Amino acid sequence: MSPNTVNNALTPNIFTYTPLTVVARDEAGDIIGSPADTLRAAAGYLATYGWHQGGLYADLTVPYPAADVTGATRAVIYGHPTTDPVLDGRLGWHVDIALATLADTFTYPEDDLRDDLTLLGWLDYAGHAVSAWNDDTNQTADQVIIHLLITADQYDNDGRTQGRRYRR
């Protein structure tokens, strides 16, 4: 285990996570659910397998290694850790949207935000912002996991407040 990896940051049994319950899928195998569902699953992954700083995963020689937020999000969407540099298709979209939902909760310096970003530009920016947030040396596993859960709850509450659920 690397010095920047934390296992079981929260009290055991707060989350139940197994590789078989990553995120919900329909009969055709397509992911169903919202970014909130994905963030909750990622929080469960981190609580179960450990949180890591400095890269997607701590040790890819084990089936479910400690991960950073992006690595955990990828693992729960794909059903296994993936280090592919480009995530295409529906699965990649679910990863990007979940990370963008999380990045939406961060506070940015005024000059860091540009009004001319396209959706794809924002998704790329958001991915980098999540990695930087995860790797902040003042960050703890508990803070990361709790922030994921709060973000998921806020997303769900915003949907109810607006009279709709953001589900595919």
Do the beta carbons of residue 45 and residue 61 sit within 8 Å? no
Picking from 141, 139, 138, the residue whose alpha carbon sits closest to that of residue 9 is 141
pTM metric for this prediction:
0.79
What's residue 32's pLDDT?
Answer: 76
What's residue 49's pLDDT?
Answer: 95
Q: For helices 89-103 and 69-78, give the axis angle rounded to 10 degrees.
A: 150
| Cα 102 to Cα 22: distance, rounded to the nearest angstrom | 18
What's residue 46's pLDDT?
Answer: 96
What's residue 121's pLDDT?
Answer: 77
- Residue 2, phi then psi, degrees to nearest 5: -80, 160
Taking only the tens of pLDDT, the chain with its 168 residues reads 443 444 444 433 344 444 434 667 777 777 778 899 999 999 999 999 999 999 999 999 999 999 999 999 999 999 899 999 888 888 898 999 999 999 989 876 655 555 667 777 778 888 899 999 999 999 999 999 999 999 999 999 986 555 444 444
